[in-house]
Homo-oligomer: A and B are copies of this chain.
């Protein structure tokens, strides 16, 4: 039980940070605290959030996946092409998820079977996947995605004040990913492999399989995020998603995921993504000069990461007190 509270401490810190930020923004411009704006924040957080959830799997397993933005792009254009050619939208979504899983698994295979360092392996596939997305489309966007597909994944629900359906998908992904990570054997193995690969191996955990699966999850999340973007934009571009990997990593890190692996939660990552979105929208609402936005964003990332350290210090003091 105390374990539970302790493990949620990190998320509480992020929530406090979000609240402080929101207050400052609201004081500076009251528009910030409106329902519509809140919706904007959540929408903005969706795609990065889902990508970051996947990234969290890769990072906890002791790796990283730089290729997610490109997996995202490949899924966008291939699913785009499938729906345009009249494939059943549900089937297309299914195939898209499969594709994402396959591309993630390729990363996993490179890392486990060829023993490549995750950073380099996915730096390589990042380039390969991007190239594939271009070659598949000849560089052209895939246009006129059918509404049947679009409304499945992206639809403003007016009866709920304009909430978009994909926000629910975001929550669903977060819940499923969170439960899998926290409650299943597979989740357990990922923590074990990231925390102490040698120990996991000696315990009979199939380390390779756990890693491959982790990257597959990363790929699946990228695929889901991609299809949401495809649905919401109605056009699939092979250039989509470039640079998204860094945002995803930032969200995971802010949410308390340890870059060396073995530690992190989906809840934390989700709040990390929300924090970044809230920050971005805040800067836009305040009409902060773009150039200054870079500076402020960077500083906030640093401060948020510093919280991790403060909070760990704090936790260790508390823990010591409990002992006495």
Contact pick for A298, options B131, B292, B297, CB 8 Å: B131
Asked whether A135 is an interface residue with its Cβ less than 8 Å from the other chain, the reply is yes
CB pair A127 B294 closer than 8 Å:
yes
Chain A residues with a Cβ closer than 8 Å to the other chain, count: 45
Residues of B within 8 A of A135 (CB): 291-292, 295
Contact pick for A116, options B123, B295, B309, CB 8 Å: B309
Residues of B within 8 A of A306 (CB): 114, 116
Residues of B within 8 A of A114 (CB): 302, 306, 309
Cβ < 8 Å to B, chain A residues 242-295: 246, 249-250, 253, 258-260, 290-295
A12 to chain B, nearest CB (A): 20
CA distance A151 to B121 in the complex (A): 40
Asked whether A173 is an interface residue with its Cβ less than 8 Å from the other chain, the reply is no
CA distance A291 to B309 in the complex (A): 43
Closest to A289 in B: B135
Residues of B within 8 A of A36 (CB): none
CB pair B305 A121 closer than 8 Å:
yes
A128, A293, A297 — which one has the most chain B CB atoms within 10 A of its CB? A128
Residues of B within 8 A of A115 (CB): 309
CA distance A297 to B123 in the complex (A): 10
Residues of B within 8 A of A246 (CB): 66, 123
CB pair B305 A120 closer than 8 Å:
yes
CA distance A10 to B134 in the complex (A): 34
Q: Contacts A116-B309, A253-B117, A259-B117; is A302 near B131 (CB within 8 Å)?
A: no
16 sampled A-B residue pairs with Cβ under 8 A:
A114-B306, A114-B309, A115-B309, A120-B253, A120-B259, A120-B301, A121-B302, A123-B246, A123-B253, A123-B301, A127-B295, A127-B301, A129-B298, A131-B296, A134-B291, A135-B295
A residues within 8 Å of B by Cβ?
66, 110, 114-117, 119-121, 123-132, 134-135, 138-139, 246, 249-250, 253, 258-260, 290-299, 301-302, 305-306, 309
